[in-house]
Amino acid sequence: MPIQQIHADIEQFFNAYCLAYNQQDSQGVARLFAAPSGIAQHGQYTHFANPDTTAKNMHELCQWYAKQGFLQANFKINHLFLQGTQHAIADIAWQIERKQQAPWLFHTTYNLIKTSQGWLILLCTAYEESFT
């Protein structure tokens, strides 16, 4: 598979991921994670052993976003590191628009794996979180 096609597939993956968040579709977000998978943030690691634990976490996250005045998410792929044709690391800059508040700006890196279901997240690491 040509490198340009892999880049396009991964960008399409993140468009679907962002759309699921914008629709507050926690099940849709959860389906984009491998099982097992996890998230690292604030010096802690949360392990998602199976699809149910991932779905529960994403449901809670979408509820938290709603309480924070979530309007919509936007992203930009800063860096994409291909590791063969079935693995990649993507560094994403996120901007979360919120009601009557400044946007929330942060970065996340994603370790991705290509499966029979398409690209999935193995690990995401959120960093440089700040409110402006």
Count of domains in the chain?
1
pLDDT at 132 over 80: no
pLDDT in tens, 101-113: 999 899 999 999 9
pLDDT tens digits, 15-61: 999 999 999 999 999 999 999 999 999 899 999 999 999 999 999 99
Domain that holds residue 64: 3-131
- Among 86, 97, 98, which Cα is nearest to 9's? 86
Q: In this structure, what CATH number is given to the domain that contains residue 71?
A: 3.10.450.50
